[in-house]
Structure 1
Amino acid sequence: MEPVPPELDLVLGASACCLACVLTNPLEVVKTRLQLQGELRAPGTYPRLYRGLVASMATVARADGLRGLQKGLAAGLLYQGLMNSARFYCYSLACQAGLSQQPGGTVVAGAVAGALGAFVGSPAYLVKTQLQAQTVAAMAVGHQHQHQSVLGALETIWRQQGLLGLWRGVGGAVPRVMVGSAAQLATFASAKAWVQEQQWLPEDSWLVALAGGMVSSVAVAVVMTPLDVVSTRLYNQPVDSAGKGQLYGGLADCLVKICQQEGPSALYKGLGPAYLRLGPHTVLSMVFWDELRRLARWPQQRDT
């Protein structure tokens, strides 16, 4: 990819992912509910309130109204803006420094950029997860935090748990985003370059970015889903007066407890909605990002 200034990539990357978030947030709501369903309970010992993508979307709409499908959207946009501005800025700096030209450089750059982005955006993701889990008592899964708004949630967490409480669960988020970011950026760049080499499509066509994004989406969903389940559980668990999680002691403890009590397959809970969310989100994000970069470079190319 031809470079653009890192400061511009910061804006373009965040804008692209926010556009994608608006379209895919209903799938994120369903995915969150499915991942919390049956928490720390053996298979078959709990009522399955949410079953599959279409049925679960209908369930959410009946319980919370059509607006319920966009629960946590404001927090989601805040998360996408914060996380991806840091992520794309860091990735762009790495590419500008020539790291992407080294063997495995795009993977390393994507992972480091993802870790930074996950840390920056963690408070917003915490609130997003808790808001999306909230519903009427009859359809509730996971702990119910009873937040009224994004700002109200941030204020409540700050008041009850202090500054560190806003980054509770970041230990699960950083590995999740590191893996996903490395897979997304590396496979997108590689797939896009391969499609261009085959000359099946015009080099400047948006379809090239679409093809790269489709390949990238599969890789992201496969590697991210287990860590995504863990991250959702860590962010949504209740805490004691000291701000310590009451269900899990951290990433490793959560992984072990899920596998022991729910079986290893529980790490892929919500895989269908996860892919249907991550797939379109990855494709849309990458296509929007690529096209916005093209538009940003157009005045310079025109002058040339």
Structure 2
Amino acid sequence: MMDQKRVVIQWDELMLGGVGAAVAGFFTNPLDVIKTRIQLQGELQARGHYQVHYRNVFHGFYQMARNESFVSLQKGFVPAIWFQFLMNGCRFGLYQVCDNLQLTRNNKGDVIFYRSIICGVGSGMIGSFIGSPFYLVKTHLQSQSESSIAVGHQHKHTSMMGGFRSIYQQNGVKGLWRGSVASMTRVSVGGSIQLTSFATVKTYLDKKQWIDVDSWYGTLLSAMIGSCFVVVSMTPFDVISTRLYNQPVDPKSGKGQLYRGIMDCMFKIFRTEGILGFYKGFGASFLRLGPHTLLSIFFWQLFRKEYLLYFKQQDQNS
């Protein structure tokens, strides 16, 4: 009986991680929209040779509210939530399963850095691959704007399902996973650092007994420290992913018209936009990733704590 209940908990780790990230996505999607547009602004153009529609995050909010509407700040919301649920459900859930099975720790309960990295990378890549079609359509919808402030290629989808249908009709199932390699790289880099730093800091604070690591403020502090490392390491890969996902596609061959792949995109950005091109949208990424990391891990740990408490009470009652 206990073995069966343990299996249920292992599977439910995926659901708890996904729900936590989806709730966080509700609050941070507007920043994701601004980030996407800033990353596409001045694509493959040297600084000073293109019109700057979005000077920073706050100017981006103003421009969208003035030229579109406040509702436009939630563009791509539906695929964004599905992506967060699927990607982080796997990423958080599978990482927690590894932690539950003591694959990330030694006999004393200390986090083993390289094992934690491997588990973080593996869970992130799986989650990113599964959720990639939703990230693709999310990027297309978020970049759609009025012509006066348009940046990047403008796809003509009217909804998430309309986007899936259009991409499938043109490029088949393979087209739905276009750019997935870049997304897997992006998430594995950021995810491994996020989860590893979170687990390491939490273990350290627990040993020092400075605060209650299972409390809401203990979780928030551990997540805050992790988010600082995530933004610096993840932004260049985030820019590359956005460019690869949003580029126009040849309807016959199904290949991107601007970039052949990750390395080609990296080379072209460096050659035309310089090293700072990889950090476009850094401010928006920081403002988004910080709160999103905090909220994702906070809700994940909160839901997980409440679920395990309920599960324990049910076990005692039976």
Q: TM-score, normalised by structure 1?
A: 0.96
After TM superposition, list the pairs within 5 Å mapping 1:18-57 onto structure 2.
18-57=22-61
Q: Does 1:284 align with 2:284?
A: no
Q: How many Å apart are 1:202 and its aligned residue?
A: 2.8
After TM superposition, list the pairs within 5 Å mapping 1:75-154 onto structure 2.
75-101=79-105, 103=112, 104-154=114-164
Cα distance in 2 for residues equivalent to 1:203 and 1:275: 24
Q: Does 1:265 align with 2:276?
A: yes
The structure 1 residue matched to 2:17, chosen from 13, 20, 23, is 13
SS at match of 1:159: helix
Question: What residue identity is the alignment partner of 2:196?
Answer: A
SS at match of 2:67: helix
Q: Map Cα deviations across residues 39-89 of structure 1 (whole Å, 9 max, x no partner).
A: 000110001000111111111112220100000000100111111222233
Q: How many Å apart are 1:198 and its aligned residue?
A: 2.6
Contact 1:196–1:208 under 8 Å retained in 2 = no
Contact 2:13–2:94 under 8 Å retained in 1 = no
After TM superposition, list the pairs within 5 Å mapping 1:58-73 onto structure 2.
58-73=62-77
Q: How many Å apart are 1:195 and its aligned residue?
A: 2.0
Partner of 2:247: 237
Q: How many Å apart are 1:297 and its aligned residue?
A: 1.6
Q: How many Å apart are 1:7 and its aligned residue?
A: 1.0
Q: Map Cα deviations across residues 89-130 of structure 1 (whole Å, 9 max, x no partner).
A: 322332233221153211110100000011000000000000
Question: What residue identity is the alignment partner of 1:224?
Answer: M
Relative to structure 1, is the Cα distance of residues 203 and 42 closer, same or farther in structure 2, using a 3 angstrom cutoff? closer
SS at match of 2:87: helix
Q: Map Cα deviations across residues 237-269 of structure 1 (whole Å, 9 max, x no partner).
A: 001121100000100000000000000111000
Contact 1:109–1:182 under 8 Å retained in 2 = yes
Q: Does 1:225 align with 2:229?
A: no
Contact 2:190–2:234 under 8 Å retained in 1 = yes
Q: Does 1:181 align with 2:191?
A: yes
Q: How many Å apart are 1:300 and its aligned residue?
A: 5.0
Relative to structure 1, is the Cα distance of residues 203 and 29 closer, same or farther in structure 2, using a 3 angstrom cutoff? closer
Cα distance in 2 for residues equivalent to 1:290 and 1:55: 34
Cα distance in 1 for residues equivalent to 2:250 and 2:43: 18
Over aligned residues, Cα RMSD in angstroms? 1.5
- Aligned identity (percent) is 44
SS at match of 1:49: coil
SS at match of 1:162: helix
Partner of 2:286: 275
Contact 2:117–2:192 under 8 Å retained in 1 = yes
Q: How many Å apart are 1:301 and its aligned residue?
A: 5.0
Question: What residue identity is the alignment partner of 2:232?
Answer: V
Q: How many Å apart are 1:204 and its aligned residue?
A: 3.3
Q: How many Å apart are 1:220 and its aligned residue?
A: 1.1
Q: Does 1:251 align with 2:262?
A: yes
Cα distance in 1 for residues equivalent to 2:163 and 2:224: 35
Cα distance in 1 for residues equivalent to 2:284 and 2:121: 24
Cα distance in 2 for residues equivalent to 1:121 and 1:186: 22
Cα distance in 2 for residues equivalent to 1:144 and 1:238: 8
Cα distance in 2 for residues equivalent to 1:146 and 1:294: 43
Report the more deviating stretch, 172-181 or 78-87.
78-87
Question: What residue identity is the alignment partner of 2:277?
Answer: A
Partner of 2:308: 297
Question: What residue identity is the alignment partner of 2:304?
Answer: R
Cα distance in 2 for residues equivalent to 1:215 and 1:285: 14
Question: What residue identity is the alignment partner of 2:229?
Answer: A
What runs of 5+ residues in structure 2 fail to find an aligned partner?
1-5, 107-111
Q: How many Å apart are 1:217 and its aligned residue?
A: 0.8
Contact 1:17–1:81 under 8 Å retained in 2 = yes
Cα distance in 2 for residues equivalent to 1:204 and 1:54: 35
Aligned residues: 302
Contact 1:6–1:93 under 8 Å retained in 2 = yes
Cα distance in 2 for residues equivalent to 1:42 and 1:8: 48
